[in-house]
């Protein structure tokens, strides 16, 4: 269950917030799961080792970790909120068939923000972009193809640039 060891460095917390064992367990679970995980997935991960760890404790820890900036809550289309460790901002493209996730290049988002500011006099404060579509693996697996559709799971898609 523990391919990534517990983080020896405490996660960042906002001033006045306490570092608790419960928050550490949630932080470690998000790291093990690799991000883009729901509260349900985090609860299941923790309960494998601590069966009495409640979902409400997970939600409280996620709220604290998100408020402190350690985690980023993301809406990936339909379904529950997903959490990932805060790093540089990035946006997502989601495959509607397998739920695979592709991180969109920052340059594209910056170009959109610059366009809005220059041509529409609209200054973005925060940008959230979610593009829904079909990944290349699922496109090859559509009806009439011999390629199997990958299992539905929020995996990170390989970032490949295809040139015409």
Spell out the domain ranges in the chain. 21-85, 88-159
Instruction: Decide: 83 and 73 in contact? Cβ < 8 Å.
Output: yes
Cα–Cα distance for residue pair 136/145, rounded to 1 Å: 13
Tell me the whole-structure pTM to 2 decimals.
0.67
Instruction: Decide: 85 and 140 in contact? Cβ < 8 Å.
Output: no
The DSSP element (H or E) to which 93 belongs, if any, is strand 91-95
Name beta bridge partners: 72.
84
Assign 2 a pLDDT band (cuts: 50, 70, 90). very low
**CATH number 1.10.10.10 given to 21-85:** yes
For 38-70, what is each residue's pLDDT tens digit?
A: 999 999 999 999 999 999 999 999 999 998 888
- Superfamily of domain 88-159 in the CATH hierarchy: Ferric-uptake regulator, C-terminal dimerisarion domain (3.30.1490.190)
Is 112 exposed, middle or buried, given 0-12, 13-18 or 19+ CB atoms closer than 10 A? Answer: middle
């Amino acid at each position: 269950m523990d391919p990534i060891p517990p983080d020896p460095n405490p996660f960042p917390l906002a001033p006045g917030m306490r570092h608790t064992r419960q928050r550490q367990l949630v932080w470690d679970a998000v790291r093990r799961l690799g991000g883009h995980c729901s509260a349900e997935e985090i609860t299941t991960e923790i309960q494998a080792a601590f069966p009495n760890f409640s979902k409400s404790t997970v939600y409280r820890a996620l709220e604290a970790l998100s408020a402190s900036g350690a985690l980023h809550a993301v809406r990936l289309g339909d379904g529950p909120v997903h959490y990932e460790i805060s790093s540089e901002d990035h946006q997502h493209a989601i495959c509607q068939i397998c739920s695979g996730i592709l991180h969109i290049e920052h340059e594209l988002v910056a170009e959109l923000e610059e366009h809005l500011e220059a041509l529409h006099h609209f200054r973005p404060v925060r940008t959230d972009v979610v593009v829904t579509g079909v990944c290349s693996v699922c496109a090859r697996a559509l009806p009439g193809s011999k390629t199997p559709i990958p299992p539905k799971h929020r995996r990170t898609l390989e970032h490949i640039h295809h040139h015409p």
